[in-house]
Amino acid sequence: MNILILGGGGREHALAWAVLQNPKCDRLIVAPGNAGIAGIAETARIDTEDGAAVAEFASQNAVDLVIVGPEAPLAAGVADTLRDAGIAVFGPNRDAAMVETSKSFAKALCDAASAPTAGYASFADAAAARAYVEARGAPIVVKADGLAAGKGVTVAETVGQALDAIDDIFAGQFGEAAARVVVEDLLTGEEASFFVLVDGTRILPIGTAQDHKRIGEGDTGPNTGGMGAYSPAPVMTEEVTAAALDRIVRPCVEELARRGTPYSGVLYVGLMIEDGAPRLVEFNARFGDPECQCLMIRLGAQALDLIQACAEGRLEGARVNWANDHAMCVVMAAQGYPGEPVRGTEIRGLEQLTATSGQVVFHAGTALSEGRLLATGGRVLSVTARGDDLRQARERVYAMADAVDWPEGVFRRDIGWRALS
């Protein structure tokens, strides 16, 4: 079969790598891709947020399945256009993707489904939001309603910080996301990410992970898109997983179907677990990055069978062949990230790190220029390894990161500290 993947980060390199392990895949095109992806698949330039352009490209190239990596095409309704054109697509329609693209939508969905989440209120104007925060006190969490590139959430220690966050949002710091603000109670406990495939009604769990959002070791400093991850998440015991499915995932999926906006694709369920009870922090309508890199190296070739079954509404008979393995991903970033990263530095030494079923250097922000591999983004490489236990995965992944010859690259040495301590 012919497959088109939309996106060009470490997540999409991992998806491309897994898809290519499966002999079912005849032709793989990734748009736009990156230098690492270009080494294993065809790349194409199309406007990935223009549904009509993606559908036309898919028809011209006899594409059987489109896998949408990031959230922006989903928010733009690209999956809707592809479905309407009769092209199989992995990723929800725009109305269902609102679980990620509108925090107030997600909270109201939880209310309707009686799913446990932080108490909240939602506001369309700054004065009412400020009054609520002043009455409620700190700590408190302030969120821009819409997509804000991972920067729309402030966990405020003081009322002053919360008020500043509200003012920033209504001053238009996040553009359209400024239309609304959600103010939430602070949840305490341990965070974990739970990934399930949903084909409208059926739900298939495909793995758990924990990521490290802060730039600095010991989980300090500013938030990033994610500096590393590991899978599985030890906190996601069988009991916690069953509770998350019964109280959060199933009721919310059923509510979306009941409303006539069924969810189809991967649902990223961000949880806070305290005393064995999971509560929803957020939904995302796509795989996490770098969590996806850990899931893909663990699932390997079967990832394509599962994704295809999901896109074709056939999850009923699908099952995951679990290996008793662990994976870790360490993100190598350019100096300056998550602020303005230094661009254009050269990366050497990747040729000795041959990809195997146990280790892959996924690319996130790279480009080839006259035969040299250059860093072009904030997060540049996702070094990923698998092992029989997390300790072994960590040993392998750090041996790989140390073998990368990139003096300007920075990475955290403590990925997985919580699970390994």
Interface residue list for ligand GLY (CB under 6 A):
211, 225-226, 284, 288-289, 291
Integer Cα distance of 103 and 50 in angstroms: 24
Integer Cα distance of 240 and 208 in angstroms: 11
Alpha helices in 137-267 (DSSP H): 159-170, 238-244, 250-258
C-beta of 271: minimal distance to ligand GLY in Å? Answer: 13
Tell me which amino acid residue 356 is: T
Q: Are 384 and 329 in contact (CB under 8 A)?
A: yes
Give which of ligand AMP, ligand GLY, none residue 211 binds (C-beta under 5 to 8 Å, depending on kind).
ligand GLY
The smaller minimum CB distance to ligand AMP, of residues 88 and 147, is found at 147
C-beta of 335: minimal distance to ligand GLY in Å? Answer: 21
C-beta of 148: minimal distance to ligand GLY in Å? Answer: 12
Among 14, 141, 215, 303, binds ligand AMP (CB under 6 A): 141
The smaller minimum CB distance to ligand GLY, of residues 264 and 284, is found at 284
Residue 381 binding ligand AMP, by CB under 6 A: no
- Convert residues 346-365 into a mask of x (bound to ligand AMP by CB under 6 A) and - (unbound): --------------------
Residues in 145-204 that interact with ligand AMP by CB under 6 A = 153, 155, 184, 186-187, 191
The smaller minimum CB distance to ligand GLY, of residues 226 and 232, is found at 226
Which of helix, strand or coil describes residue 50?
A: coil
Q: Are 373 and 350 in contact (CB under 8 A)?
A: yes
C-beta of 364: minimal distance to ligand GLY in Å? Answer: 12
The smaller minimum CB distance to ligand AMP, of residues 168 and 191, is found at 191
Integer Cα distance of 368 and 346 in angstroms: 10
Integer Cα distance of 223 and 216 in angstroms: 9
Integer Cα distance of 61 and 338 in angstroms: 37
Identify the residue whose tokens are 């499966």: 22
C-beta of 286: minimal distance to ligand GLY in Å? Answer: 8
Q: Are 251 and 244 in contact (CB under 8 A)?
A: no
Integer Cα distance of 166 and 259 in angstroms: 31
Q: Which residues bind ligand AMP (CB under 6 A)?
A: 118, 141, 143, 153, 155, 184, 186-187, 191, 270, 281-282
